[in-house]
Structure 1
Amino acid sequence: MSAITRLPIPFRTRRAAILSGASLLVLAQAAAAQEATPPRRGTGRPPAEASVQLGEISVEGQGNGPGRGGAGGGAGVRAVESPTGPVNGFVATRSATATKTNTPLIETPQSITVVGREQIDTQKAQTLTQATQYAAGLYSGTFGADSRLDYFILRGFLASDYGLYRDGLQLLNYGFAYFRTETFGLERIEVLRGPAAVLFGAGTPGGLINQVTKRPPLDPLRYIEVGGGAFGQGGFGYAAFDLGGPADADGHWFYRLTGSGRIGGNQVEGAPEDRGYIAPAITYKPDGATKLTILSSFQYDNAAVTANFLPYYGTVRPNASGLRIPRSLNVGDVGLNTFRREQAYAGYEFEHAFNETWTFRQNLRYSYVDSFQNSYIGNDYTAGTAQTRLSRYQFRDSARAGLFQVDNQAEARFFDGFFRHNLLLGLDYKNYNLHDNQASTFPGPDISILFPVYGQRVAAPLPYLINVNSFEQLGLYAQDQIKLTDNLTLVLGLRQDFADNRIRNLLTPSASNGRSDNALTYRTALIYNFDFGLAPYISYSTSFQPQIGTAFSGQAFRPETGDQIEGGVKFEPPGQGYFLTLAGFDINRQGVTVPDPANLFFQIQSGAQRSTGFEAQLTVTLAEGLNAVAAFTSYDLVTTKDADPARVGRTPVNIPETFASAFVDYTIPAGAWRGFGFGGGVRYVGRSYADVANTLKVSDFVLFDAQVHYNFDNWRIAVNATNIGDRRFVSSCQSATACFYGDARRVVASLSYKW
């Protein structure tokens, strides 16, 4: 369990002194180690791995252009997968998310799913929600068809607030300052299940999702794509390009420029969903030991609130008039339903190998988001209307957030005379500032679900919250991956965090508050790798997540903590083209925040939860042109302690406890039909609950997807359809008056060209 105490002296005083010398201290340690420990025969890494990090990263961007398969690498380049580069087919072999080192998945004692670029393109996933719908342990799209952001539940716990990462650095989604990543700009998506606080210092015990940005390739890349289609009530079109390669004749500079644009609507009548995205990236490699990659992007969204808050009766079940609310109903207003966002990322990844033992890395990024939302929100039925009119209120929010992060890492691979070690020492820091202005009008004009009339207005919204939130966190961590034998690996991790949360209340200055906390988290794990590809493992880990913001009373939340024991087995027979993971887990979570029943838009910190379950993930890539992925998840989620006795022993709302999926794609490899491909998928989501007492059940559902495509020369044409039967379903309910329709049928036709 995490130990949490109050800081004895001000956090900012210690943070400034520690951070200012962090990089120099790590560099000095590495240089000293180089002088004191010269390479010896039979120690450290084998000669072929002397610069394994930089050597393997050098194949990034090779081979797998968008919509293409095939092995990566050009002539004379080792076909070794980079942990941040393309995945050959659907089966990834390496990741840097679980350990922050370049570790094969078969040697990683934790459950993880990697969704590569080829799988994203095959499924034509245009949001992070769509791209992760076939991953185990993860329920994507909790709040249905939402054009503003992505929601995720990992092993029963919300992961879209503190559990989203990009390139190993956190994306905080607090309040209404949402970060959302354009999936066309991603090389891979990695779903890590279970606590990861020992390395990242944050996140719920359910796990995290790390989005890996496309990086400059070694070989020239030229790719363009256009497409369009229908999504419920709205048609849409898009265009995208991806250009990159060497920028000089000496092979020191490489570039990549990725961009996309979308315009059109969605399944809600009169709701736009437009987006523009541009991402320049540059890599500088002066020699084989040093590498600097600059990553940046800018994104603009013009959308609406499409996750309509609708009553249980009228969506899951017919209402008093025997009707169901149309899925296309704009509960907002065609003239007053706005969500706009501008977001930007700028940062770099630096790596230098001093010798065959020591490597230093520094990852740094500044993230910025500015969003505005103004809409009517559903609020149950209007009394005396036979449930044919919805009451509404107006909600307006203006949010601006900036997030600075830096992660310093020193990695040493050596032999101590008895065991081989992969030692990681790190120091990271984050600084988050949020300006949040929220206002509402109660009540707003009601609306007919049969014959809606728009353009009605009431009084302007009045602010109920104007806060300036600041959050800082400093963490020191160490991890050692110890080869006890050639087959048995012990992983030990330890981390100390210092966190400071301050809230300045501009409406009621006397209610300004804050707190400082520190915590020690740790992980221990064992994995045994048999030569024929079987790898059983067991791990125990703890989690720590400082909470941003306050309750309605102004009281700052204490950090959330948790612990997990996980056991499982991985199977990757050499050369067979498939990877299977089975895992069982038991998670305990304390300090859980839940919606405040007495104060809308606020939360209270109440109690503890437990999640115990099993999951399975299979990925397949065969030389005969077959790619497949399948997943199964089942767990028992229950509230074990709460200030409200009605919650104890119950399953929290919004959360299905069983789901399964399978997706297959086949491309004919030879003959007259060579290049023609087809496939499809099936997704099952079990029932969930819409009320605390678990008396209102949200029905389970099954959805079907399909695709057909044809590759000829450098061209690719494809048609993809999700929810092909256009089934109307409710993805979840937050309460009896807040249910959310899932995605309607989406059909996308695309044409791409690569040269």
Structure 2
Amino acid sequence: MLVKFFFLGMVVVLALPWGLCQKAQPTREKATDLSLEALLELRITEQAVRELGLDDQPKTGNHFHLSAFQLPVSIDIIEHDTARARGLKSVTEAAENLVGVLSGESPAEPSSFSIRGFTRDGIAILRDGIRAGPSTMTMRPQNTFNLDRVEIYKGPGSLHHGPGTAGGAINMVTRRARLDLPRRTELFGSWGRYESFDAGFGMGTPLGHRTALRVDANVTQSQGWVDRTDSDSLNLTTSLVWAVNHRLLVEVSLDLLDDDLPAYWGTPLIDAAAARAPLTGVVETRDGRVLDDRLRFTNYNIGDQLSQSEHLWTRLGVDWQVSDKIAIKQSAYHFSADRAWRNAESYLFDSDLETLARDRFFVFHDQSLSGYQLDAVLTDLFEGFEQEWVVGLDYTRHDFLRMRGFPDGDRVALDQPEPGQFGPEVAFSSPTDIRTLAGILDFTARLSSQWRIFAGFRAEHTDLDRKNLDPAGVLVAEESFARDFQPLSYRLGLTYQIDSGKLVYLSHGTGHDPVGSNIFQVNAAENFDLTDIVQTEIGFKWLDQEDRFQLTAAVFDSERKNSLLLASHNNAFDNIGDQRARGLELAGLVRMGENTRFGGNVAYTDADYGNFIDPDFGHDVGGNQPHNVPDWVAGAWLSRGGLLGLPLDVGFGVRHVGDRFADSANTVLLKQYTLTNAFLAYQTRQFRLALNVRNLGNIDYVPWGDIFYPNQLALAAPRNYELSVHVKF
């Protein structure tokens, strides 16, 4: 606690007096006319609506020396400065500003996402290109202060990050040390509604001619907008780079996260007759249950609830430019995590007794992941045409211990529930050992000045050993098993560059994941083969050479099929089912004068289950719409600098999310909503004082439905405001 207040006080004391004395930046300068030092001091006016990242070289799914514009795939990028200018402090908020992304902060599975018709573990979550495991088990809310960017790779074709998941991959790229930059320091502090504060310190500095250091620290705390929902986090990232010589670079990095999440597990759905102030236009249920506005700030969790974690990444990377044509990239890493949940998670309203029945559930994780990645990037090995080859090796060793228990629950009053205590903990444990070895071959070649082809393959061998133990530590043999998987994934692509700023592309990729998407929880009764994923995409990219506008468009068709057969009680076999999604995505940016920019995106998704048995509940949901998948998602941002001739920036963001279901049975409909955010900032070269307002219209809405808790829904926060100061020197 003292550390957090120290950070916040340091930012305010140092930043405010110094920053208010700074001179305003001239209206506009050409970047090509500025020195490196001047570029570092550019104000972030207009960065609330920045480029689509087409000029950037993505780190996700891309080992070639190619930009996002040149690749035959949809890759969305939101950079650090853009996210901070919009007041997007979390990865969840940043990702939702990109094309067609929906997310939620369910405490059972923090930072879950929905992309292109697929949800939860259908999207891989990466930290610097490394996947810690299924996101529903391993993901935590992440801040944007410690990140250089957030990248989203759509579809299953990212061969370098495991066998591709159906929706794609979200990669959080941390800020790293750089040898080509002078010393820079930044301080950030904010205070907002519900006693929320956020403080950050960042510094990048050379340590001589061949060594550089980067350190970033971020601390947050909030009392929460629901009763008894305090939360806090600490994230420390640091990297040290050493250039042994002009061809050999060594980097050591560390990434630490320590957090305690809010204890809000949702507001119960109750009979309409029992509701005194039913919320309208928020939810519609098949059985007529509603949300009651008088209960929205009530916490039904226990008094000694727990939702904590400690994560630590350590990494050693070596980049060796063997020759002009051969580069070797190596990375050895280790990830360890401890997570603990102890809560009353599920609430069921009893209309006869007018009480809530609460459960009890606890689960503890002890996770250890070690890995090694080796990639050889070979350029123009053969004469006569331009080509690049990537030959890769990927090895991981996962030890995951999950301990859980289900003590007896209780009943509490609907209006003034007594928190109570959790009770005794008797744990069942499930140690899981997973070892994976994969080989990767990726290739691209320019066939002419306009045509380029792509091809890539990933062959993998995974050994899974899962045991289930009773509370006495005795093996439950009928629920334990061991098996191996040997998936083969590939991607193919073709681009045609019409001119220097226009490109069309075609891509086709495959991937694989477990039937329930979570390999850490699969039991002997779910000892199935992996599912088959396939996606075809056609797209267009337009990058105006005069920087007036940018445009991307994509049409996709994705399918996730369980090609395996499930044995029934009579030894017959039935097909488990499939899920399909088709859609259209558009994103654009327009510069409207010297200081004004407008950007927006829209995504349409037509998704449904085929002949499908829900693997979590056993329900036949064939023909239904997948949970948390709206037909339409759209967003737009407008920013204006130099307001009234002063160094003032103003920006507005609007986001629309269509109707979607909270469950695969389609019994709970979450109604569409339109959310508005805004900011006003005093901005100089190195100083920014800003007021951000979220949910400007103070609307009521439910952003996400947790399929395991169908009797309750987590409402979003009311209108929220934040005053922040950010200084760089």
State the TM-score bracket (shorter-chain normalisation).
0.7 to 0.9
Q: Secondary structure in 2 aligned to 1:505?
A: coil
Report Cα offsets for 1:558-597 as digits up to 9, x if no partner: 223200111111111213243311001111102399xxxx
Contact 1:134 1:629 in 2 (8 A): no
Distance 2:318 2:581 in 1: 39
1:398 paired to 2:364: yes
State the partner residue of 2:492: 524
Q: Secondary structure in 1 aligned to 2:345?
A: strand
State the partner residue of 1:538: 506
Distance 1:459 1:538 in 2: 57
Farther off after superposition, 301-310 or 191-200: 301-310
The letter of the residue matching 2:418 is: Y
Distance 2:581 2:38 in 1: 42
Report Cα offsets for 1:608-627 as digits up to 9, x if no partner: 10011111122456882334
Distance 2:332 2:310 in 1: 21
1:509 paired to 2:476: yes
Distance 2:497 2:527 in 1: 46
Could you tell me which of 617, 624, 633 is aligned with 2:587?
617
1:257 paired to 2:215: yes
Contact 1:592 1:609 in 2 (8 A): no
Distance 2:543 2:446 in 1: 20
Could you tell me which of 355, 372, 394 is aligned with 2:340?
372
> How large is the Cα RMSD of the aligned pairs?
3.0
Could you tell me which of 84, 98, 105 is aligned with 1:121?
84
1:678 paired to 2:650: yes
Farther off after superposition, 654-663 or 490-499: 654-663
Contact 2:155 2:164 in 1 (8 A): no
Contact 1:137 1:155 in 2 (8 A): yes
Q: CA deviation at 1:327?
A: 2.5
Farther off after superposition, 109-118 or 530-539: 530-539
1:561 paired to 2:532: yes
Could you tell me which of 194, 197, 204 is aligned with 1:244?
204
Could you tell me which of 161, 183, 186 is aligned with 1:223?
186
Q: CA deviation at 1:324?
A: 3.9
Map of 1:93-492 to 2, 5 A cutoff?
93-94=55-56, 95-141=58-104, 143=105, 146=107, 149-159=110-120, 163-173=124-134, 176-217=137-178, 218-230=181-193, 234-248=194-208, 251-308=209-266, 310-311=268-269, 316-317=283-284, 323-324=292-293, 326-333=295-302, 335-385=303-353, 388-414=354-380, 416-448=382-414, 450=415, 452-457=416-421, 459-463=423-427, 465-492=428-455
Contact 1:219 1:246 in 2 (8 A): yes
Unaligned runs of 5+ in 2: 1-27, 41-46, 272-277, 565-573
The letter of the residue matching 2:196 is: F
Distance 1:484 1:336 in 2: 64
Q: CA deviation at 1:745?
A: 2.4
Q: CA deviation at 1:348?
A: 2.6
The letter of the residue matching 2:627 is: V
Q: What percentage of aligned pairs have identical amino acids? A: 20
1:726 paired to 2:721: no
Q: CA deviation at 1:360?
A: 0.7
Distance 1:224 1:99 in 2: 33
Unaligned runs of 5+ in 1: 1-67, 81-85, 594-603
Change (3 A) 1:87 1:502: farther
The letter of the residue matching 1:607 is: G
Q: CA deviation at 1:389?
A: 3.1
Q: CA deviation at 1:641?
A: 2.1
Contact 2:120 2:135 in 1 (8 A): no
Report Cα offsets for 1:701-721 as digits up to 9, x if no partner: 111000010113532100111
Report Cα offsets for 1:369-413 as digits up to 9, x if no partner: 11111111233202404xx53221111111111122222111111
Distance 1:204 1:729 in 2: 29
Change (3 A) 1:455 1:519: closer
Q: Secondary structure in 1 aligned to 2:560?
A: strand
State the partner residue of 1:495: 458
Q: CA deviation at 1:556?
A: 2.9
Distance 2:197 2:29 in 1: 25
Q: CA deviation at 1:181?
A: 3.2
Aligned pair count reads 658
Change (3 A) 1:323 1:742: closer
Distance 1:397 1:72 in 2: 55
Distance 1:709 1:433 in 2: 48
Report Cα offsets for 1:499-548 as digits up to 9, x if no partner: 11111112143122121010221111101112241111111111122551
Q: CA deviation at 1:694?
A: 3.1
State the partner residue of 1:689: 661
Contact 1:115 1:131 in 2 (8 A): yes
Distance 1:154 1:69 in 2: 38
Change (3 A) 1:550 1:164: closer
Change (3 A) 1:278 1:148: farther
State the partner residue of 2:626: 652
The letter of the residue matching 1:273 is: S
Q: CA deviation at 1:752?
A: 1.8
State the partner residue of 1:588: 559
Q: CA deviation at 1:130?
A: 0.8
State the partner residue of 1:754: 728
Distance 2:638 2:340 in 1: 40
Change (3 A) 1:635 1:750: same
Change (3 A) 1:320 1:400: closer
Change (3 A) 1:312 1:653: farther
Distance 2:254 2:493 in 1: 36
Distance 2:548 2:246 in 1: 31
Report Cα offsets for 1:637-665 as digits up to 9, x if no partner: 11112246841111122322311111122
The letter of the residue matching 1:583 is: A
Distance 2:292 2:682 in 1: 43
Change (3 A) 1:294 1:701: same
1:744 paired to 2:718: yes
Contact 2:48 2:639 in 1 (8 A): no
State the partner residue of 2:22: none
TM, length-normalised to structure 1: 0.81
Contact 2:619 2:665 in 1 (8 A): no
Farther off after superposition, 210-219 or 413-422: 413-422
Map of 1:55-94 to 2, 5 A cutoff?
71=31, 75=35, 89-92=50-53, 93-94=55-56
Contact 1:90 1:116 in 2 (8 A): no
Change (3 A) 1:591 1:235: farther
Contact 2:597 2:639 in 1 (8 A): yes
